[in-house]
């Protein structure tokens, strides 16, 4: 091939591209120049592709499997993650077969409740904990991604070579056996991708992490559990509507619902047990009958697999300021908190909005360094807590199990640490650089209505950009430069109902209560729903000034500045 230039149609996106190979190789038949390449199209990669695609950036996704997995792996998300799904998809479609979970019970071998984690309540406008069917979520996000002509999906393509340069990343991909050809290039057998940034969302055995030579820290967890997913054929006893973990030293096991129509059963593999025997269908029916009195008339087995449980964290989440790891590529954890996929989707939305500002030339690349600074300690706390809970719950030592039972039943067992907040990075800080009150927490989401007749969840009505909510308006509090800054970062301003065109009615009092609880007149939240900070009305200018500084803001490009003054 020569280095000529041509125009190619990319699912409706017209671009001029150089087809000169990334390296001297006759095998490269097509090359793409994009803003962001995403490797991996599980929940983390799906969210990243949807959010960035919705922001208008050119994205290409490389996924080694030819289609979405189509079976449940994760079964639980929390309210924050549901709000992320809301930003990335039609959330009502994604969560159409879910049920709220009210508790997570740990029981001993005798069936006594050792501890019951309260899971009832609401978070971010959704139930605090949700049992869901993963394919529904993935289908809904993929459906949104397919609507964006600026996003190309390459299912069935394996990333094979990766180079990080000063100003771009070069990726080579080749089709797996069932790989679909890229759009408008049916004969292509190798693809080269140039991107300004690359996101490695390709799982625990990440090609991206390995190609970069990034090591992992191991938290010392090495277990195997048999996973049996089933479809419910007739109503089961009510106990199966709950998540229950039986801390039996003879063989720890658990069950949980998968949305409304399916059920998961798991049990620990003992040392020396053969994988093929454990994955034999007869072994599953034997266990289900002995442990739960269930047979083929009650349930249908749809998935049975022995999977490893490990806890690891990448030593670095980025390389050259161009490549970033997310999800299981950055961290893996035991399932005891149900936070593996939740953490990955948090990674995706947290990085996406920062990339958006940098790609639009409104923030320096220094902003991207806050991705790992914020997300690593948050994820590490969850990993460590998951490991701690696993060590306590999964022990097969009868003596340790008896001591554990006594400690829990007597109330002397110490509680796990609280769920982590964002404690650094793009949040409001005090004079000693510690997080200000409310900074790093999650913003509420309530039902709102507007003067023009719109009603619904706050994000559905107003979007998921930066948001400033005030109880008394901003008249006289902001100068023209501050207003231009807020417009530049896409921050929408909303006032509790006072008849103004930008006001809204707080239908359930969600925002009124929240501002009263934090003792503030104003709060600003980020596109990932993390509260940047809050203040009384008189301090709004200082709050905005600090936000500008924390974002490494460099202002609007000249054309946008001109438009903003008209």
pLDDT score for 183: 67
Q: How confident is the model at residue 214 (pLDDT cuts 50, 70, 90)?
A: very high
Number of domains into which the chain is organized: 2
Q: Is 19 exposed, middle or buried (0-12, 13-18, 19+ CB in 10 A)?
A: middle
Examine residue 441 and state whether it is found in any structural domain, yes or no. Answer: no
pLDDT > 50? residue 474: yes
Contacts of residue 312, defined as CB under 8 A and 6 or more positions apart, other chains included, come to 204, 216, 217, 218, 219, 331, 332
Of the candidates 49, 3, 41, the one whose C-alpha atom is nearest the C-alpha of residue 24 is 3
pLDDT > 80? residue 117: yes
- 72 neighbors 134 (Cβ within 8 angstroms): yes
Q: How confident is the model at residue 476 (pLDDT cuts 50, 70, 90)?
A: confident
Q: Which of 275, 310, 345 is the last residue of a domain?
A: 310
Q: Which of 310, 339, 359 is the last residue of a domain?
A: 310
pLDDT in tens, 42-74: 999 999 999 999 999 999 999 999 999 998 999
Of the candidates 468, 446, 487, the one whose C-alpha atom is nearest the C-alpha of residue 525 is 468
Q: How confident is the model at residue 412 (pLDDT cuts 50, 70, 90)?
A: confident
Gap between the Cα atoms of 443 and 524, Å rounded: 9
Q: Which of 250, 279, 310 is the last residue of a domain?
A: 310
Phi then psi for 157, rounded to 5 degrees? -120, 135
Examine residue 283 and state whether it is found in any structural domain, yes or no. Answer: yes
pLDDT score for 20: 38
pLDDT score for 122: 96
- 313 neighbors 387 (Cβ within 8 angstroms): no
Examine residue 70 and state whether it is found in any structural domain, yes or no. Answer: no
- Mean pLDDT over 280-291 rounds to 96
Examine residue 284 and state whether it is found in any structural domain, yes or no. Answer: yes
Gap between the Cα atoms of 64 and 122, Å rounded: 37
Examine residue 343 and state whether it is found in any structural domain, yes or no. Answer: no
pLDDT score for 162: 98
pLDDT in tens, 320-379: 999 999 999 999 999 999 999 999 999 999 999 999 999 999 999 999 999 999 999 999
Examine residue 262 and state whether it is found in any structural domain, yes or no. Answer: yes
Gap between the Cα atoms of 531 and 547, Å rounded: 11
Of the candidates 81, 90, 144, 63, the one whose C-alpha atom is nearest the C-alpha of residue 348 is 81
pLDDT score for 559: 41
Q: Which two tokens stand for residue 276?
A: 């093929």
Stronger pLDDT, 465 or 180, i.e. the higher one: 465
Gap between the Cα atoms of 387 and 431, Å rounded: 35
Examine residue 553 and state whether it is found in any structural domain, yes or no. Answer: yes
pLDDT score for 15: 41
CATH of the domain at 499: 3.40.30.120
Q: Are strands 191-200 and 30-39 parallel, antiparallel or unpaired?
A: parallel
pLDDT score for 413: 82
pLDDT > 60? residue 98: yes
Examine residue 31 and state whether it is found in any structural domain, yes or no. Answer: no
CATH of the domain at 305: 3.30.9.10
Q: What is the pTM of this model?
A: 0.92
Residue-number span of the structural domain to which 264 is assigned: 96-131+220-310
pLDDT in tens, 357-366: 999 999 999 9
pLDDT > 90? residue 138: yes
């Amino acid at each position: 091939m020569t280095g000529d230039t041509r125009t190619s149609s990319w699912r409706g996106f017209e671009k001029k591209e150089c087809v000169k190979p990334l390296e001297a190789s006759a095998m490269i038949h097509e090359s793409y120049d994009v803003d962001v390449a995403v490797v991996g199209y599980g929940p983390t990669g799906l969210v990243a592709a949807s959010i960035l695609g919705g922001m208008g950036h050119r994205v290409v996704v490389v996924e080694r499997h030819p289609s979405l997995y189509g079976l449940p792996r994760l079964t639980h998300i929390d309210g924050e993650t549901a709000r992320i799904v809301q930003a990335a998809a039609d959330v009502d479609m994604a969560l159409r077969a879910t049920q709220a979970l009210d508790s997570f019970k740990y029981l001993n071998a005798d069936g006594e409740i050792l501890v019951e984690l309260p899971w009832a309540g609401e978070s971010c406008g959704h139930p605090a904990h949700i049992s869901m069917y993963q394919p529904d979520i993935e289908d809904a996000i993929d459906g949104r991604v397919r609507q964006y002509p600026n996003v190309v999906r390459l299912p069935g393509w394996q990333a094979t070579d990766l180079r990080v340069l000063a100003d771009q990343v070069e990726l080579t991909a080749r089709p797996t056996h069932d790989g679909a050809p890229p759009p408008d290039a049916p004969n292509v057998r190798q693809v080269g991708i140039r991107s300004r940034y690359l996101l490695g969302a390709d799982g625990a055995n990440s090609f991206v992490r390995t190609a970069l030579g990034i090591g992992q820290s191991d938290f010392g967890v090495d277990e195997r559990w048999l996973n049996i997913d089933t479809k419910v054929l007739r109503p089961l006893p009510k106990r199966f509507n709950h998540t229950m973990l039986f801390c039996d030293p003879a063989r720890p096991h658990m069950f949980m619902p998968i949305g409304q129509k399916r059920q998961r059963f798991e049990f620990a593999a003992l040392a020396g047990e053969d994988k093929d025997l454990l994955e034999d269908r007869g072994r599953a029916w034997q266990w289900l009958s002995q442990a739960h009195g269930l047979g083929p008339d009650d349930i249908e087995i749809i998935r049975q697999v022995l999977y490893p449980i490990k806890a690891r964290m990448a030593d670095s989440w980025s390389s050259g300021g161009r490549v970033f790891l997310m999800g299981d590529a950055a961290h893996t954890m035991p399932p005891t908190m149900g936070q593996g996929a939740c953490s990955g989707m948090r990674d995706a939305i947290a990085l996406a909005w920062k990339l958006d500002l940098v790609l639009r030339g409104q923030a320096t690349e220094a902003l991207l360094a806050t991705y790992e600074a914020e997300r690593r300690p948050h994820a590490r706390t969850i990993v460590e807590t998951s490991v701690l809970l696993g060590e306590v719950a999964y022990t097969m030592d009868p003596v340790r199990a008896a001591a554990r039972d006594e400690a829990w039943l007597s109330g002397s067992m110490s509680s796990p640490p609280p769920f982590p907040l964002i404690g650094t990075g793009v949040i409001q800080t005090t004079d000693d650089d510690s997080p200000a009150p409310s900074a790093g927490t999650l913003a509420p989401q309530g039902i709102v209505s507007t003067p023009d007749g719109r009603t619904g969840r706050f994000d559905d009505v107003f979007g998921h950009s930066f948001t400033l909510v005030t109880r008394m308006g901003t008249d006289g509090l902001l100068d023209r430069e501050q207003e231009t800054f807020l417009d530049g970062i896409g921050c929408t301003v909303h006032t509790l109902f006072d008849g103004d065109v930008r006001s809204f009615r707080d239908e359930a009092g969600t925002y009124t209560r929240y501002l009263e609880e934090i003792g503030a007149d104003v709060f600003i939240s980020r596109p990932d729903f993390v509260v940047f900070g809050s203040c009384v009305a008189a301090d709004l200018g200082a709050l905005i000034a600090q936000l500008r500084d924390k974002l490494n803001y460099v202002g609007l490009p000249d054309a946008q500045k001109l438009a903003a003054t008209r």
